[in-house]
Chain A
């Protein structure tokens, strides 16, 4: 069964450093997403990406964040200057392009900012 894969599973970084979280979506999917979940809190939408551009973003997704699909298979989330409050699980997901298609999520990257 196809799946969304994320690397690394755990990333520790110092405050102020840049991090890149990587995802390989399901190959024939067209929509790509990033979500985050701070420990003990809800799963929060960050951004969706379609046709090589951002489709929608939340207020959390500020100028510190960027997404890219550099090579047609990977989908990355970059945080330019990490803050302590960026510590969370980050989930990537992908789906087809209609309302009647489910999204599949990866197992997440646990980001710890120290």
Chain B
């Protein structure tokens, strides 16, 4: 499985931007970076994904470095409801019939 590295936990003040880093230094040229989150024991929730270019949707922005070895998920105005475990997943072109969940980053949004 493609390897990603994320910090185990991060804190963020409510209303501020949350920047969650992910290292995927062994990523190959056609592999996508996906971000999911899990709030308590709910089902993982899709956030965003990208290949090379930066992406933005109504939930978040994804910044991928030019060499594609790392990425950052940005929640522009974190709320208490954004407290969750965030997973960075690299989906391989040869094995795209599963998503591998690592340990993720526990984001604690504080008032």
Contact = CB atoms under 8 A, between A and B. Distances in A.
Given A99-B91, A105-B43, A108-B42, A43 B97 contact: no
B25 to A, nearest CB: 20
Contacts of A31: 97
23 contacts: A31-B97, A35-B101, A42-B101, A42-B102, A43-B38, A43-B44, A43-B101, A45-B101, A55-B97, A91-B43, A91-B44, A93-B99, A99-B30, A99-B92, A99-B96, A100-B32, A100-B49, A102-B34, A103-B99, A105-B44, A106-B43, A107-B43, A108-B43
Interface residues of B, number: 26
A33 B49 CA distance: 19
A35 B103 CA distance: 15
A108 B30 CA distance: 31
A33 B51 CA distance: 23
Contacts of B34: 102
B1 to A, nearest CB: 9
B58 to A, nearest CB: 12
A56 interface: yes
Contacts, number: 60
For the residues of B in contact with A, the DSSP-based class is loop
Interface of B: 30-32, 34, 38, 41-46, 49, 51, 87, 91-93, 95-103
A89 B93 CA distance: 28
Interface residues of A, number: 28
Contacts of B91: 99
B18 to A, nearest CB: 21
Interface in A31-67: 31, 33, 35, 37, 39, 42-45, 48, 50, 55-56
Nearest to A4: B43
B95 to A, nearest CB: 7
Nearest to B32: A99
A16 B73 CA distance: 44
Interface in A53-110: 55-56, 89, 91, 93, 98-100, 102-108, 110
